[in-house]
Amino acid sequence: MNNNPIGVYDSGLGGLSVWRELRRALPDESLTYLGDGKNCPYGSRPREEVRLLADDAVASLLAEGCKMVVVACNTATAAAIDFLREKYPSVPIVGLEPAVKPACLETRSGVVGVLATERSLDGEPFRRTAARYGSGIEVITAPGRGFVELVEQSREDTPEAEACVRAAVGEMLDRGADRIVLGCTHYPFLRHVIERVIGDRDVRIVDSSAAVARRTGQLLDRFALRAAEGHKPEYRFLTFADDVYAERLRRKAFE
Ligand code: DGL
């Protein structure tokens, strides 16, 4: 048993989509969220740079006493997960990757669309899973251009947001995709816009947060790290940006 917090890390606000699911699924657990904010977006930065940022973030969370870390960022996972697990072998670290597996297993049209950042799409975890489960399936990928900025600047409900979403998913829909994978933790905050663009087509949106929360629970059990039953959780919000950003993280988490 261990009442220390779980660390949750993202380039910015996006990982809060995972944070919310963790809070719902693991209500006794304290959560310390680190949203970089200063270096966001990560999506087209060189891999080495993202790896250094991820290392700083995980080191900060461990210095805050976190018992495990969820890298709630597909981009940081793609760039750094092996490095982090090697560097911090005694800490369970959960990574995120686009939920290509369930989408490929469930598609009926045989066409799956994957939205993610450039770095995630050219990263090892996505390529490996797509190669493993995507045989015989047409997997169409597209970076969600502008999506992260829209979420970071609270511009989700603007005509520009709808135009960006249309530009990214239009072709997937035209080519018959019936599953759209949200391969970046910022994208669930645009879910309502994506649904609007999908309209009445029979298309499902697939995201990984619930699976990540389940995986986190399994690791807590495996390493005997669960908080005591009925433990009153504490929620903290850290950033490499400033206090105003930390306050935004807190507000968005509980929105
Ligand atoms: N939210 C992140 C992800 O899941 C990164 C977005 C970014 O900073 O570009 O990929």
Domain of 216, CATH number, reads 3.40.50.1860
164 flagged as catalytic: no
- Is the CB of 71 inside a 6 Å radius of any atom of ligand 1? no
State which ligand 1 atom lies nearest to the alpha carbon of 72: 4
What would the two tokens of residue 12 be? 């910015």
Domain membership flag for residue 26: yes
Residues 183 and 114 in one domain: yes
Report the SS3 class of residue 177.
coil
40 flagged as catalytic: no
Distance of CA 224 from the midpoint of ligand 1 (Å): 30
Convert the pLDDT of each residue in 34-73 to its tens digit. Answer: 999 999 999 989 999 999 999 999 999 999 999 999 999 9
State which ligand 1 atom lies nearest to the alpha carbon of 184: 4
Convert the pLDDT of each residue in 97-131 to its tens digit. Answer: 999 999 999 999 999 999 999 999 999 999 999 99
Domain membership flag for residue 213: yes
- Its pTM stands at 0.96
* Domains in the chain, number: 2
Q: Domain end: 187, 206, 225, which one? A: 206
Residues 47 and 117 in one domain: no
Domain membership flag for residue 1: no
- Is the CB of 40 inside a 6 Å radius of any atom of ligand 1? yes
- Is the CB of 148 inside a 6 Å radius of any atom of ligand 1? yes
Report the SS3 class of residue 230.
coil
- Is the CB of 11 inside a 6 Å radius of any atom of ligand 1? yes
**Which residues constitute the domain of residue 174?**
100-206
Residues 109 and 196 in one domain: yes
Report the candidate in 195, 201, 211 with the shortest Cα–Cα distance to residue 178: 201
